[in-house]
Amino acid sequence: MGASATIRARVESLRDEIRYHNYRYHTLDDIEIPDAEYDRLMRELQDLEKQYPDLVTVDSPTQRVGAEPSEALKSVRHRLPMLSLDNVFSEDELREFHRRVAEKLEFEDGALDLQYAAEPKLDGAAVSLLYEHGILVRAATRGDGTTGEDITHNVRTIESIPLRLLGNGYPEALEVRGEVFMPRAGFEAYNKQARAAGEKTFVNPRNAAAGSLRQLDPKLTAERPLDMYVYSVGLVEGGNLPDRHSEIIEQLQAWGLKTCPERGVVRGVDGCLAYYEAIGKKRDSLGYDIDGVVYKVDSLAMQRELGFVARAPRWAVAHKFPAQEELTTVVDVEFQVGRTGAVTPVARLEPVFVGGVTVSNATLHNIDELHRKDVRVGDTVIVRRAGDVIPEVVSVVTSRRPRKTKPVSLPKRCPVCDSHVVREDGEAVARCTGGLFCKAQRTEALKHFVSRRAMDIEGLGARLIEQFVEENRIKSPSDIFELSKEELAERERMGEKSAENLVRAIEASKATSLSRFLYALGIREVGEATAHNLASYFGNLPAILEAGAEELVKVPDVGPIVAKRIREFLREEHNLEVIRQLQDHGVHWQDTDPSMVAEEGPFTGKTFVITGTLPGITRDEAKALIQKNGGKVTGTVSRKTSYLLAGEKAGSKLTKAQQLEVEVLDLDGLRALLKP
Ligand code: IVH
């Protein structure tokens, strides 16, 4: 049956679109759509071509998998083609793969014990390394599988790739293949720096790896944090390798090539599934991106028997994880107001299934990010949800932008309370100036106030707070302490029993600590650790209320900005009023002795390092003693160290101090310095 005009048009438009994305991916290293979407386009085209073979043309993107070699880099022909893998997306599809393997190998028992080498599917760029007589002579990208690009100059800059193999026994010519990737931490750091310098950022670590490898100037590659795990061999001449995949990989490791530590050997489909699940759980903590796992029949003899279809082996398959990036459209861009008034743009999305859940909101972080990404209502965007991280809009597919969209701008007034929205110089965050007058800020401040690590009032949940604020029943934190059992019991979904429990929890929360109380106040920049440091430094609230900025910066981890925030907060009469009201309602704590860092003392200007076990005194006590007398305590010995206070079993710090001729004291020596 011939294809209709509509189908012909669809095929043509699919091809155009795929060519466009191939170009962006391979030549520009600047992807616009997620893999999952690309795969769908490709699949649709393949299906149509299968259904209407007349429509297949030699230049259809389906006829070639992979890249246009770039103009600038020299091309390299792979003596053995670099293949790709078939994908499966479900247990059923995996069982089907295994069934075909077992059948082809003429197993009669279902091949329950068949051994597979199982490895993460690394999400980077496939690279071939050619070693001759143990020396790295050439590195190439995969390209279209037949012809790749010469990237030897760049690969030489990757420190974990040996320029010369270790040990001996390697074949005269040995081609190893693997994945070059950018570890997540390196990717984040790179993008952060690029953003600060106003340079182009990478959409994801894979793009970053591919882009870095294809630089013309190896100096640029050398600055990128790249790494490589090898996972197979290509050409082998003048020597032999073991006859199991897993043993070959072990051997490569012994020759100094890095291999993925997560690899293993499993039995049968059930072994594969258990591996898939285990790696899936570890996925977010791996430090590098993976997009599935790969199973390979471990025996090379069996691999040979199984052979290949088209461009993929019959003996291996990739079992993909659910996509972490998907496409959807932006229905609206709204601004949310947080506890400290931060006005955060949020994209409301057409619901989309991504990273295992349905997502309908995604953060845009702040107004700069929103402008940088230029997200507009009506746009098609990539949303990403990785692990438990909140979903975010990665980028806009500008080629799909509808006509007449408008850039989104920061509202001048708070969407909740209509106060002015301001943005201080140099701040990424815009804020509502409404303070606790703003219901959004009040709600969030109260949620924070009652939270577990603050006043710890169990049972006063977000919904209840929202209702109370909406009804103006709670205007200030102290109103919480006036809630009665009767009025709570009248609330929807709140029985006698839970009302009673809540009243008890509210009562119990009154006995708190200064550090919890300070944290609960929600002073900007004062997190738990800072609250704790303030409390132990000053010991009581009046001392903190009186402290000027010069005093505040003496508290560990308090810098000028934090000091300024604390002063600003405590200068406001309404904040002092809140504190008074809370104390009037019975909120109390035990004051402690201030830790008293003397302004001046015998140790002023001196830096100490403490090591080893001191007689009859803990290191913390020794530290307090030094600080009390004006000294500073640091962790590492350097030329700037004045004294090393060394106890028993002092180790490398003592050696270092001796090398640098830093004076070494024991506890008595320290005490002697303090005697007048
Ligand atoms: S083996 C014949 N193992 O996946 C088998 N590939 O779709 C060739 N990949 O181009 C590949 N991790 O970039 C293999 N552990 C792994 C892999 C892996 C990632 C990539 C590789 C290849 C693509 C195939």
- Opening angle at CA 364, ends 352 and 320, nearest 5: 40
Residue pair 293/279 in contact (Cβ under 8 Å)? The answer is yes
CA distance 239 to 100: 33
Ligand 1 nearest atom to the CA of residue 85, by list position: 7
Closest Cα to atom 18 of ligand 1: 121
Which positions ≥6 away from 116 have C-beta within 8 Å?
A: 265, 266, 267, 268, 271, 272, 295, 296, 297, 298
Is 383 a domain residue? no
Active centre residues (catalytic): 121
The DSSP bridge pattern shows strands 325-337 and 342-354 to be: antiparallel
* Residue 582 sits in the same domain as residue 622: no
Residue pair 82/232 in contact (Cβ under 8 Å)? The answer is no
So what's the pLDDT on residue 35?
84
So what's the pLDDT on residue 598?
52
* Residue 109 sits in the same domain as residue 245: yes
CA distance 406 to 393: 18
Is 408 a domain residue? no
* Residue 19 sits in the same domain as residue 135: no
How many CA atoms lie less than 13 Å away from 481 in the CB half-sphere?
Answer: 19
CA distance 107 to 326: 40
Is 73 a domain residue? no
CATH at 10:
1.10.287.610
Amino acid letter, 558? V
Report whether residue 117 contacts ligand 1, using a CB cutoff of 6 Å. no
CA distance 247 to 584: 73
* Residue 157 sits in the same domain as residue 305: yes
Q: What is the pTM of this model?
A: 0.65
CATH at 501:
1.10.150.20
* Residue 530 sits in the same domain as residue 549: yes
Is 187 a domain residue? yes
Is 252 a domain residue? yes
* Residue 50 sits in the same domain as residue 177: no
Q: How far is the CA of 383 from the centre of ligand 1 (A)?
A: 25
- Owning domain of residue 38: 5-63
* Residue 527 sits in the same domain as residue 669: no
CA distance 583 to 572: 17
Q: How far is the CA of 84 from the centre of ligand 1 (A)?
A: 6
Ligand 1 pocket: which of 83, 294, 321 to mutate (most atoms <8 Å of CB)?
A: 294
Is 387 a domain residue? no
Q: Compute mean pLDDT per 10 residues along the chain, 676 residues long, and list them.
A: 87 93 80 88 92 88 60 87 93 96 90 95 96 95 92 92 93 97 94 87 90 88 93 96 97 96 96 96 91 97 93 95 92 95 95 91 92 95 86 92 94 94 89 90 95 94 93 93 92 87 95 95 90 91 93 85 92 90 95 69 86 85 81 81 90 87 92 85
Ligand 1 pocket: which of 26, 85, 319 to mutate (most atoms <8 Å of CB)?
A: 85
* Residue 524 sits in the same domain as residue 640: no
* Residue 166 sits in the same domain as residue 303: yes
So what's the pLDDT on residue 22?
83
CATH at 209:
3.30.470.30
* Residue 471 sits in the same domain as residue 566: yes
Closest Cα to atom 6 of ligand 1: 121
Report whether residue 181 contacts ligand 1, using a CB cutoff of 6 Å. no
So what's the pLDDT on residue 66?
46
So what's the pLDDT on residue 491?
85
Burial per residue of 211-231, b for 16 or more beta-carbon CB atoms within 10 angstroms, e otherwise: bbbbbeeeeebeebbbbbbbb
* Residue 207 sits in the same domain as residue 279: yes
Residue pair 88/317 in contact (Cβ under 8 Å)? The answer is yes
Nearest to 483 by CA among 497, 463, 466, 504: 504
Is 174 a domain residue? yes
Is 622 a domain residue? yes
Segment holding 498, helix H or strand E: helix 496-509
Ligand 1 nearest atom to the CA of residue 87, by list position: 7
3-state helix, strand, coil in the chain (%, to 5): 40, 20, 40
Closest Cα to atom 2 of ligand 1: 83
* Residue 21 sits in the same domain as residue 97: no
Q: How far is the CA of 294 from the centre of ligand 1 (A)?
A: 8
